[in-house]
Amino acid sequence: MTVHHDGEGGSLATVLIPTINNPHELRVVLEHLLRDSDGTYDIIVIDSSSNFETSDLCLELGVERIDDSSRTRADACNNGLSMVQTPYTLFTDDDVIPPSGWVKSLIRWFDREHVAGVGGTNFAPEEDPWLSKCTDVAFGARVMTAGTRYGARPDAELVEVMHNPGVNVAYRTEVLREVGGFDEGAIGAEDVLLDSKIVSAGHRLFLDPSCTMPHRRRPAIIPMMRQIRNYGYVRRLAIDRDPSLRSPTHRAVQMFPLFAAIAALALVYGAVSGGAQWDLWFTLEGEWDLSRASFHFSMGAMSLYFLVCILGASLGTSPHRSVSTVFASCITIPAAHLAYGWGMMKAEWGLLRGSVSIVAIDDKERS
């Protein structure tokens, strides 16, 4: 059992790791953190698993574990936070590869009194498969990511931000308690809601661009789309709790599936109904009727969209940018936009009907 300290001659920080049925990847996280530990931080695993493998792992490694029956990550993290007795609290996930010095690299900034919380970047680890790196490039693309902070890497030592992803972040514990921790029962986007409360309370959050956490990405399109669909779903629910979180970019992505369907139908209509004029369609000559205009407008809009996908990916922040991964963004970014928009529309419909489903702590299919 880990012994907690008040920060005087003992532990300064506690790392909280919510997990569910993922002992193999969790082992990597814990071994890296334990190998790097010099007694300045504690580790608590909040375990919502349905088997004993995670329990056995924590017992083997001598890591404190909380048996948790929460259905949301927010409640699991709150349960972990209730056990923290150190000045600083860090959060990460069970599918990361913590780099050496990770804890120290974040908590060093608390020497500055105005820093209430600080986070870092996260990218796919080098050993991830090519498809996961394609996802990473899509997440870190410029323009096309609706303001997400997956791959943000500003050119400065410490940058003030409104939000840090919960996979790589540290807070003053007293600030977390002051705002009441995570929103109870929040179905995802709990880190966004938490940071909104912290900023609204007058505290300041920062990003250390040099502190990068390798974070595994989904290895195929369908799992990635399932993940992004859940992101869209929970983001719309978070906006319902805190309307200040809505932005024009989120509204645009919410409507993307509808726009994509209209463009596809216009393209098919133009191609089917204007067959006799195919020899003129790629010139400015001849009569411009509805079918020809539909074809050209939709084709032009799609071409521009794919061009922006490529440019956004090539100018993005992912360290895995290459010719192949950048061009793959013509598939991964539209897939992400479709999934995110569908998730937001599904949540919108659920809110209108008064029927919102509980999303599990994690969308991964785990045994």
Query: Has residue 45 been placed in a domain?
Result: yes
Query: Has residue 135 been placed in a domain?
Result: no
Better-predicted residue by pLDDT, 282 or 1: 282
Query: Has residue 166 been placed in a domain?
Result: yes
DSSP 243: G
State the CATH number of the domain containing residue 108. 3.90.550.10
Better-predicted residue by pLDDT, 97 or 300: 97
Q: What is the pLDDT of residues 201-250, one digit of tens each?
A: 999 999 998 999 999 988 888 888 988 888 888 888 888 888 888 888 88
- Amino acid identity of residue 148, one-letter, is T
Distance CA 235, CA 217 (A): 19
Give me Rg for the CA atoms of the chain. 23
Q: What pLDDT shows up at residue 3?
A: 35
205 burial via Cβ count (<10 Å: 0-12, 13-18, 19+): buried
Distance CA 281, CA 291 (A): 10
CB-CB contact of 142 with 316 (8 Å): yes
Number of structural domains found in the chain: 1
Query: Has residue 156 been placed in a domain?
Result: yes
Q: What pLDDT shows up at residue 149?
A: 53
Provide the residue range defining the domain that includes 174: 13-126+149-216
Q: Which residues lie closer than 8 Å to 160 by C-beta, 6 or more apart?
A: 204, 205, 206, 207
Half-sphere exposure (Cβ direction) of 108: Cα atoms closer than 13 Å: 12
In this prediction, residue 360 has a pLDDT band, given cuts at 50, 70 and 90, of: very low
* 210-224, 244-258, 321-335: range with highest mean pLDDT: 321-335
DSSP 15: E
Q: Whole-model pTM?
A: 0.85
Query: Has residue 1 been placed in a domain?
Result: no
Q: What is the pLDDT of residues 285-320, one digit of tens each?
A: 656 678 778 888 888 899 999 999 999 999 888 999
**Is the Cα torsion angle 169, 174, 178, 182 positive or negative in sign?**
positive
Work out the angle between the directed axes of helices 53-61 and 23-36 (0-180°, nearest 10): 20
pLDDT at 7 over 70: no
Q: What pLDDT shows up at residue 250?
A: 81
pLDDT at 1 over 50: no
Q: Give me the DSSP letters along 194-235.
A: HHHHHHHTT-EEEEEEEEEEEBPPPSSHHHHHHHHHHHHHHH
In this prediction, residue 72 has a pLDDT band, given cuts at 50, 70 and 90, of: confident
Q: What is the pLDDT of residues 23-54, one digit of tens each?
A: 999 999 999 999 988 888 999 999 998 889 99
Query: Has residue 335 been placed in a domain?
Result: no
